[in-house]
Amino acid sequence: MKKIVILGAGVMGSAFSIPLSDRGYDVRLVGTHLDVDIIEEIHQNRVHPKLHSRIPDNVTPYTVSGLEEALMGVDLLVLGVNSLGVNWAAEILSPILPLNVPVLMLTKGLMGDRKKISILPDVLRNGLPADYRDQVQISAVGGPCIAGELASRRHTCVVFTGQDQTLLDQLCDLMRNPYYHVWTSTDLVGVETCVALKNVYALAVGLVHGWLEKEGTADNGAVMHNLAAAIFAQGLWETAYLVDYMGGQLQSVYTLPSSGDLYVTSQGGRNSKMGRFLGMGMNYQEAKTRYMPDETIEGAELVLDIGPTMEVLFERGELDWARLPLLRAMASIVSGQEPAELPWDDFFKGNFQN
């Protein structure tokens, strides 16, 4: 029987235990220091307090102090921490991760160091000891997957991405079931760029909810879907530019990793919720503190993290800021420098004529 550790007992990490459990594996769900209450609740009544789903009996909950024990004899480590936890994960795993255990990352994001933008599998790799860096096999999951739906065994279509096709095929065989449909892609950098950026563009689409609340429904019942759709399209257009810059493939943009994932993220969730607050005119830090103190707003974290690096890349002429007006606007809005307004006339530069 396969033994699988999931590190991170947030909604996505925990939801991922369901398809693994359904395949009959020995699943070990290890909470981080942020997940202590969650692990306690699963121990007590087997219901995840945020996911509101029952965690099956073949999923054993652990606190982080049990990570080393949980890792013994495992076939796969699934990393389900949020984007802020990748460096922490590298640190805690460094002394105890068995060299031959492949890693599958659920975490989505990009990081900047004021020199370059990196995908998270590279951040994790670079955080591991030197002798691990060349050997550890890191793959990742991309595509539209709301955790609560996966946990309820609703049809979900995703892409496993990595550099080793044989490993990807093995991971697929491990995971697939009648509701979890998996494709593979060796465009690791493209998929990772897409799935990270979708969070900030979903935040942008979410602004519309706030604007609608301010302006109200029109006399004829009209809302603001046209506007949301235009922001959605500009998001994909900018994603295509950045995927190309990062060395990825355009196909990832108009399939599951970008268009599918941005679609699902725009239908609701934390980024969309924060977008609404920003659209209503609230300051990001204020809205975060007041309404979403315990939630990670991945789209906001992303622009705050890579924003300074992008400015360096603009200055160096490596990135063309005229191609990324929405991303720049979101960075200004989230950092509180600009009100929540978008530069329409700068959209779609380099594509359509304006």
Options 36, 72, 229, 322; binder of its own copies; rule CB under 8 A: 229
Q: Which is nearer to its own copies, 124 or 158 (CB)?
A: 158
Question: Of 26-34, 123-131, 213-221, 274-282, which segment contacts its own copies by CB under 8 A?
Answer: 213-221
Q: Identify any residues that bridge with 6 across adjacent strands, giving them in sequence order.
A: 29, 78
Q: What torsion do the CA atoms of 207, 209, 212, 214 make, to the nearest 10 degrees? A: -70
Q: Which is nearer to its own copies, 267 or 285 (CB)?
A: 267
Question: Of 129-137, 226-234, 278-286, 329-337, which segment contacts its own copies by CB under 8 A?
Answer: 226-234
Does 246 contact its own copies by CB under 8 A? Answer: no
Q: Which is nearer to its own copies, 255 or 296 (CB)?
A: 255
Question: What angle, rounded to 10 degrees, do the helices at 225-246 and 325-334 form?
Answer: 110
Question: What angle, rounded to 10 degrees, do the helices at 270-279 and 298-315 form?
Answer: 70
Does 259 contact its own copies by CB under 8 A? Answer: yes
Q: Which two tokens stand for residue 138?
A: 């890191």
Q: Specify the DSSP element, H or E, that contains 116.
A: none
Closest CA to 78 of 169, 146, 171: 171
Work out whether strand 59-62 and strand 76-79 pair parallel, antiparallel, or are unpaired: unpaired
Does 145 contact its own copies by CB under 8 A? Answer: yes
CB of 165 to its own copies, least distance (A): 7
Residues in binding contact with its own copies, number by CB under 8 A: 67
Does 166 contact its own copies by CB under 8 A? Answer: no
Amino acid (one-letter) located at 331: A
Q: What is the distance between the alpha carbons of residues 196 and 180, in angstroms, rounded to a whole number? A: 21
Using CB under 8 A as the criterion, what x/- string covers residues 24-63 for binding its own copies?
Answer: ---------------------------xxx----------
Options 69, 169, 320, 341; binder of its own copies; rule CB under 8 A: 169
Q: What is the DSSP letter of 144?
A: -
CB of 154 to its own copies, least distance (A): 6
Options 88, 132, 245, 254; binder of its own copies; rule CB under 8 A: 254
Which residues, at least 6 apart from 315, have a Cβ–Cβ distance to it below 8 Å?
Answer: none
Q: Which is nearer to its own copies, 37 or 169 (CB)?
A: 169
Question: Is 196:238 a contact under the CB 8 Å cutoff?
Answer: no
**DSSP per residue over 259-327, as a string?**
IIHHHHHHTSSHHHHHHHHHHTT--HHHHHHHH-TT---HHHHHHHHHHHHHHHHHHTTSS-GGG-HHH
Does 214 contact its own copies by CB under 8 A? Answer: no
Angle 28-17-159 from CA coordinates, rounded to 5°:
125
CB of 265 to its own copies, least distance (A): 9
Does 175 contact its own copies by CB under 8 A? Answer: no
Q: Which residues bind its own copies (CB under 8 A)?
A: 51-53, 143-146, 148-152, 154-157, 159, 165, 168-169, 181, 183-185, 218-230, 232-234, 236-237, 239-240, 250-251, 253-256, 258-261, 263-264, 266-268, 344-345, 347-348, 351-354
